[in-house]
Amino acid sequence: MTFAYSTYETLVVERRGPVGWLVNNRPDQLNAMNSRMRDELAVAWTELDADPDVRVIVHTGEGRAFQTGVDVAEIAGDGVGMERYRRSMEDFDLHFTAWHQGVTKPVITAVNGICAGGGFHWVADADIVIAAADAQFFDPHVSIGQVVSLEAIGLMRKMPVEAVMRMAFVGRHERMPAQRAYELGMVSEVVDPPERLRDAAQALAETIARNSPAAMAATKRALWRALEMGLTDACRAGAGDLVSLWGHPDQAEGPRAFAEKREPRWQVGPAEA
Amino acid sequence: MRADHRYPGYATLVVERRGPVGWLVFDRPDRGNAMDATMLAELERAWVDLDGDPAVRAIVTTGNGSAFQTGLDVVQLGRDPDALREQSRRTRRAELKLTAWHNGVWKPVIAAVNGTCAGGGLHFVADADIVIAASDATFLDPHVSVGQVTVFEAIALVRKSPMEPIVRMALAGRHERITARRAHQLGILSQVVDPPGDLRDAAQALAATVARNSPAAVAATKRALWGALEAGLTDACRAGARALVDMWGHPDQIEGPRAFTEKREPNWA
């Protein structure tokens, strides 16, 4: 039985083999997030995480931008302004990234072009990030009188801080090329020519999909939780994740398949162990 | 570029303003710009002067001569330990007042490393928002080679850059240096200036660029990002979300998008 996805206006949500695709689809607005897109993202992450045929999720954008943050035209145009975000922001009750939604499957962000300002949310909150060779990164918030906060806070845990702060304080007056993002470890692969990005993302996702879903979910939980605490506490909590898989069928199947030189047959769906 | 204003009364520092950029220059070139008791006192005053001047939008720290900063003046420490007694007390209590971070300065700070940066000099790299360096600059931490412990500088640096190179530098002591090129690869700094003589022009240009952004948004951003180094990810995001919302309704927050749409430079409050 095939999982039925909702109908989306601002996103394309689909499955190709074991890979779920979430594509920002407002190319004429450089994939800026309006209220509709914000709400659709919440649903899309949940659906892709729930589809048992999806093992890995790729997030990319249509057109020449990956994502450029909040839709300023909507903010400026309808009299509601940023106030539409006040309640959820004050409560830090956000739902537009995989991390916000507690997605348990590995998420690959494939940056296809401009990634600006709020676009960094999906770089910071992804497990793996790759980029087209012509991708560009910059954070114009302070150049238009806005504060840089959540995106940079996430990035700072994951890469050298100086580079994040330089982007935050220089604002729109400077861009970081994909190659520098690769050197700094913000992305792990630069795809050249850029048109090959989606193929490269699909291939990487299929490779990851060969691993035990249960082991990856526990690993993801342990690593992200580690960003919440000091080293010893993180190791203590991680020990729980390690032990949680003992007795799981994948834990016996993995070594057996390795010994028999065959592809393992992982358990899909909730663990019965 | 000539200084628009020189703040008076400094013997070991040059403190001045060029356009919107405040300059804090270590000025004991024949002592590797090492910090003696006078410089320690003057540093605290310099941050107050630069932070208190509304014309200063961004601050550059650099050094005169062949060194950037080489830490505490061990010659004075040997000859006249009493002069540094106050400093010892502050060190014990982790109450240092050397850097912008120590002094609660929320204007953006660029360290422009002009040469050797050794030991306690690393405070000014660790605590800067942005770091650039002359191509012949080098970094080393000789503490353990002279029987001292490395603590504050490395603790901050391991939060901001890959850990292995920082620990290696701490343990190799004076017997090994990190080059500017390698520091750039590692993301300890974001720009190598070659030839080295162009460093101050590059720093002034970068600081002037930063100065074009909203001072209120820059200060709130700086508070949020440095505050984030204090907490776990979710707690940091929660605090960061408040910093974000606090800016809503500020005049810059409306002026910024308007200037962007009208393709003109913004007039910040």
**Contacts (Cβ under 8 Å, ≥6 apart) of B168:** B176
Q: Are strands A65-67 and A114-116 parallel, antiparallel or unpaired?
A: parallel
The percentage of residues in chain B with a pLDDT greater than 90, rounded to a whole number, is 77
- Give yes or no for a contact between B118 and B142, defined as CB atoms under 8 angstroms apart: yes
Q: Do B225 and A159 make contact, defined as CB atoms within 8 angstroms?
A: no
Chain A, nearest residue to B220 by Cα: A147
Q: What are phi and psi of B159, to 5 degrees?
A: -80, -20
What's the distance, CA A176 to chain centroid?
Answer: 19
Sign of CA dihedral A240, A242, A246, A249: positive
Q: Is the pTM of this model over 0.90?
A: yes
Average confidence score pLDDT of chain A: 94
Whether residue A12 is predicted with pLDDT greater than 60 in this model: the reply is: yes
Q: In this complex, is the C-beta atom of B263 within 8 Å of any C-beta atom belonging to chain A?
A: no
User: Which CATH architecture is the domain A11-208 placed in?
Assistant: Alpha-Beta Complex (3.90)
Closest partner residue to B256 (CB to CB) among A144, A170, A185 is A144
Which residue is associated with the tokens 């779920």? A20
Which pLDDT belongs to residue A272?
43
- Optimal mutation site among B182, B213, B238, B260, interface A, most CBs of chain A within 10 A: B213
| pLDDT tens, position by position, B83-106 | 878 778 887 777 889 999 999 999
Q: Do B237 and A152 make contact, defined as CB atoms within 8 angstroms?
A: no
- Give yes or no for a contact between A57 and A108, defined as CB atoms under 8 angstroms apart: yes
Which pLDDT belongs to residue B80?
84
Q: How far apart are alpha carbons A248 and A72 in whole angstroms?
A: 48
Which pLDDT belongs to residue A271?
46
| Partners of B116 in beta bridges | B67, B138
Average pLDDT on A187-193 reads 97
For A91-105, B53-67, B237-251, which range has the lowest pLDDT when averaged over its residues? B237-251
Chain B residues touching A224 at Cβ < 8 A = 233
Which pLDDT belongs to residue B18?
98
Q: Return the number of other C-beta atoms located less than 10 Å from residue A139's C-beta.
A: 30
Q: What are phi and psi of A233, to 5 degrees?
A: -60, -40
For A16-25, A179-188, B60-69, B227-236, which range has the lowest pLDDT when averaged over its residues? B227-236
For B63-77, B121-135, B203-217, which range has the lowest pLDDT when averaged over its residues? B63-77
Which pLDDT belongs to residue A273?
38
Can you tell me the ipTM of this complex? 0.90
Options 3.90.226.10, 1.10.645.10, 3.30.565.10, 1.10.10.10; CATH for B5-210 is 3.90.226.10
Q: Give the count of alpha carbons within 13 A of B4, CB side only.
A: 10
Residue B261 pLDDT class (50, 70, 90 cuts):
confident
Chain B, nearest residue to A184 by Cα: B187
Q: Do B266 and A144 make contact, defined as CB atoms within 8 angstroms?
A: yes
Average pLDDT on B42-64 reads 97
Q: How far apart are alpha carbons B269 and B266 in whole angstroms?
A: 9
Locate the domains of chain A by residue range.
11-208, 213-259
Chain B residues touching A76 at Cβ < 8 A = 257, 261
Which residue is associated with the tokens 């114009």? A140
Q: In this complex, is the C-beta atom of B122 within 8 Å of any C-beta atom belonging to chain A?
A: no
Q: How far apart are alpha carbons B221 and A144 in whole angstroms?
A: 13
- Optimal mutation site among A97, A169, A175, A187, interface B, most CBs of chain B within 10 A: A169
Which pLDDT belongs to residue A270?
57
Average pLDDT on B59-85 reads 90
Q: Do B225 and A82 make contact, defined as CB atoms within 8 angstroms?
A: no
Query: Nearest C-alpha of chain A: how many angstroms from B232?
Result: 4
Residue B78 Cα distances to B72, B74, B120, angstroms: 11, 6, 17
Sign of CA dihedral B97, B98, B99, B105: positive
For A187-196, A254-263, B162-171, B246-255, which range has the lowest pLDDT when averaged over its residues? B246-255
Task: Order across the sheet with B58-63: list the strands.
Answer: B5-6, B13-18, B21-26, B58-63, B109-113, B130-134, B191-193
Average pLDDT on B139-151 reads 90
Q: In this complex, is the C-beta atom of B261 within 8 Å of any C-beta atom belonging to chain A?
A: yes
Instruction: Classify burial at A246, counting beta carbons within 10 Å of its beta carbon; exposed 0-12, middle 13-18, buried 19 or more.
Output: exposed
Closest partner residue to B256 (CB to CB) among A143, A165, A174 is A143
Q: Do A145 and B161 make contact, defined as CB atoms within 8 angstroms?
A: no
Average pLDDT on B20-39 reads 97
- Optimal mutation site among A71, A84, A147, A167, interface B, most CBs of chain B within 10 A: A147
- Give yes or no for a contact between A234 and A250, defined as CB atoms under 8 angstroms apart: no
Q: What does the block give as tokens for A228?
A: 């919440």
Q: Between residues 24 and 83 of chain B, which touch chain A (CB distance below 8 Å)?
A: 58
Query: Nearest C-alpha of chain A: how many angstroms from B241?
Result: 6
| pLDDT tens, position by position, A57-94 | 999 999 999 999 999 888 877 778 778 888 898 889 99
Query: Nearest C-alpha of chain A: how many angstroms from B181?
Result: 13
Average confidence score pLDDT of chain B: 94
Whether residue B122 is predicted with pLDDT greater than 90 in this model: the reply is: yes
Whether residue A1 is predicted with pLDDT greater than 70 in this model: the reply is: no
